[in-house]
Amino acid sequence: MSPDASAAKPTPQGQVSLTIDGKPVIVPQGTTIFDAARLNGIPIPTLCHQQNENPVGVCRVCVVDVGGRVYAASCIRQVDPNMVVKTNTQPLEDVRKTLLELLMADHPSPCTRQKHSGDCELERLAADAHIDHIPFAKRTTPRGHDDSSLSIAVDHEACILCDRCIRGCDYIRNNWVLARRGKGYQAGISFDLNDPMGDSSCVSCGECMVSCPTGALTNKAIVGQKLEGEAVNTDFLLELPVFKNVSGNFLSLNRHAIVERRFKAGDIICREGEFGYSAFYILEGTVDIYLSTPMAHVKTQDASEGWMQKLRSFLTPRSNQPGHEHHGRTSIPIDANVDLPLDKPIAQLGAGELFGEMTCMSYYPRSATVRAKTDCVMLEMLRNVLDIMQRNKSFREQLERTYKQRALDSHLKSVPVLASLTPEFIAHLKERVELIRYLPGQIICQQGDPADGFYLVRLGFVKVSQHHPGGEVVLAYLAKGSYFGEMAFLLNSPRMATCTALDHVEVVRIPGDDFRLMLEQFPDIRQKLEAVAHEHIESNRQRMALVESVPVEQFLNQGLMEAQSLLVLDLDRCTRCDQCVRACADAHDGVTRLVRDGLRFDKYLVATSCRSCRDPLCMVGCPVGSIRRRNSLEIVIEDWCIGCGQCANNCPYGNINMHPFPVQIEDSEHPGRMIATTKPKATGCDLCTDHAEPSCVYACPHDAAHRVNPPIFFAELLKQGTPATQGAPVEGRD
Nearer CB in complex with another protein: 165/386:
165
Q: Pick the binder of another protein from 81, 182, 450, 551 (CB under 8 A).
A: 182
Nearer CB in complex with another protein: 173/628:
173
- CB-CB contact of 337 with 402 (8 Å): yes
| Rama region for 457: left / alpha / beta (φ>0; ψ in -120 to 50; rest) | beta
SS (H, E, C) 555-581: HHHCCHHHCCCEEEEECCCCCCCCHHH
- CB-CB contact of 364 with 448 (8 Å): no
Supply the Cα-derived Rg of the chain in whole angstroms. Answer: 33
DSSP per-residue codes, 150-185: SSEEEEGGG-----HHHHIIIIIS----EEEES-GG
What's the maximum distance between 2 C-alpha atoms anywhere in the chain? 119
What amino acid is encoded at 51 in this protein?
Answer: Q
Choose the stretch contacting another protein; rule: CB under 8 A; options: 142-150, 182-190, 379-387, 409-417. Answer: 182-190
Q: How far is the CB of 17 from another protein (least distance, A)?
A: 19
Choose the stretch contacting another protein; rule: CB under 8 A; options: 170-178, 213-221, 249-257, 386-394. Answer: 170-178
Rule CB under 8 A: say whether 190 interacts with another protein: yes
- CB-CB contact of 681 with 637 (8 Å): yes
Rule CB under 8 A: say whether 178 interacts with another protein: yes
Helix (H) / strand (E) containing 674: strand 674-684
Nearer CB in complex with another protein: 18/568:
18
Using DSSP bridges, classify how beta strands 72-73 and 604-608 pair: parallel, antiparallel or unpaired. unpaired
Nearer CB in complex with another protein: 416/512:
512
Burial label for 412, CB within 10 Å (0-12, 13-18, 19+), is: buried
Give φ, ψ of 78 to 5 degrees: -85, 155
Q: How far is the CB of 99 from another protein (least distance, A)?
A: 5
Choose the stretch contacting another protein; rule: CB under 8 A; options: 151-159, 177-185, 304-312, 599-607. Answer: 177-185
Rule CB under 8 A: say whether 207 interacts with another protein: no
Site string (483-502) toward another protein, x via CB under 8 A: ---------------x-x--
DSSP per-residue codes, 680-718: EEEEE--TTTTSSS-HHHHH-TTS-EEEE-HHHHHHHHH
SS (H, E, C) 457-522: EEECCEEEEEEECCEEEEEEEECCCCEECCHHHHHCCCCCCEEEECCCEEEEEEEHHHHHHHHHHC
Choose the stretch contacting another protein; rule: CB under 8 A; options: 69-77, 393-401, 539-547, 610-618. Answer: 69-77
Site string (146-165) toward another protein, x via CB under 8 A: --------------xx----
Task: Give the count of alpha carbons within 13 A of 527, CB side only.
Answer: 6
Choose the stretch contacting another protein; rule: CB under 8 A; options: 23-31, 71-79, 268-276, 336-344. Answer: 71-79
Nearer CB in complex with another protein: 26/58:
58
Q: Pick the binder of another protein from 70, 221, 676, 692 (CB under 8 A).
A: 70
Rule CB under 8 A: say whether 50 interacts with another protein: no
List the one residue out of 289, 240, 290, 288 whose CA is nearest residue 260. 240
Rule CB under 8 A: say whether 455 interacts with another protein: no
Total of residues contacting another protein (CB under 8 A)? 52
Nearer CB in complex with another protein: 137/676:
137
Nearer CB in complex with another protein: 183/733:
183
Q: Pick the binder of another protein from 94, 239, 284, 553 (CB under 8 A).
A: 94
Q: Pick the binder of another protein from 102, 240, 419, 544 (CB under 8 A).
A: 102
Nearer CB in complex with another protein: 46/293:
46
Burial label for 142, CB within 10 Å (0-12, 13-18, 19+), is: exposed
Burial of 300-332, coded b for 16+ CB within 10 Å and e otherwise, reads: bbeeeeebeeebebebeebeeeeeeeebebebb
Q: How far is CA 501 from the centre of its chain?
A: 8
Choose the stretch contacting another protein; rule: CB under 8 A; options: 92-100, 356-364, 521-529, 675-683. Answer: 92-100
- CB-CB contact of 659 with 680 (8 Å): yes
Site string (500-539) toward another protein, x via CB under 8 A: x---------------------------------------
Give φ, ψ of 146 to 5 degrees: -140, 110
Q: How far is CA 76 from the centre of its chain?
A: 40
Choose the stretch contacting another protein; rule: CB under 8 A; options: 188-196, 310-318, 325-333, 545-553. Answer: 188-196
Rule CB under 8 A: say whether 187 interacts with another protein: yes
**What distance in Å separates the CA atoms of residue 640 and residue 346, rounded to the nearest whole number?**
13
Choose the stretch contacting another protein; rule: CB under 8 A; options: 72-80, 147-155, 311-319, 365-373. Answer: 72-80
Q: Pick the binder of another protein from 34, 191, 290, 653 (CB under 8 A).
A: 191
List the one residue out of 126, 182, 189, 122 whose CA is nearest residue 155. 189
Nearer CB in complex with another protein: 56/546:
56
Q: How far is CA 319 from the centre of its chain?
A: 34
Rule CB under 8 A: say whether 90 interacts with another protein: no
- CB-CB contact of 525 with 418 (8 Å): yes
Choose the stretch contacting another protein; rule: CB under 8 A; options: 367-375, 437-445, 656-664, 696-704. Answer: 437-445
Beta-carbon contacts of 361 under 8 Å, excluding residues fewer than 6 positions away, are 279, 383, 386, 387, 460, 503, 504
Nearer CB in complex with another protein: 21/170:
170
Rule CB under 8 A: say whether 268 interacts with another protein: no
List the one residue out of 461, 411, 464, 479 whose CA is nearest residue 625. 479
Rule CB under 8 A: say whether 226 interacts with another protein: no
Nearer CB in complex with another protein: 30/721:
30
Rule CB under 8 A: say whether 95 interacts with another protein: yes
Choose the stretch contacting another protein; rule: CB under 8 A; options: 59-67, 251-259, 295-303, 511-519. Answer: 59-67
Which residues would be at the binding site for another protein (CB under 8 A)?
56-61, 63, 70-71, 73, 76-77, 91, 94-95, 97-99, 102-103, 105-106, 135-137, 160-161, 170, 176-187, 190-194, 201, 441-443, 446, 498, 500
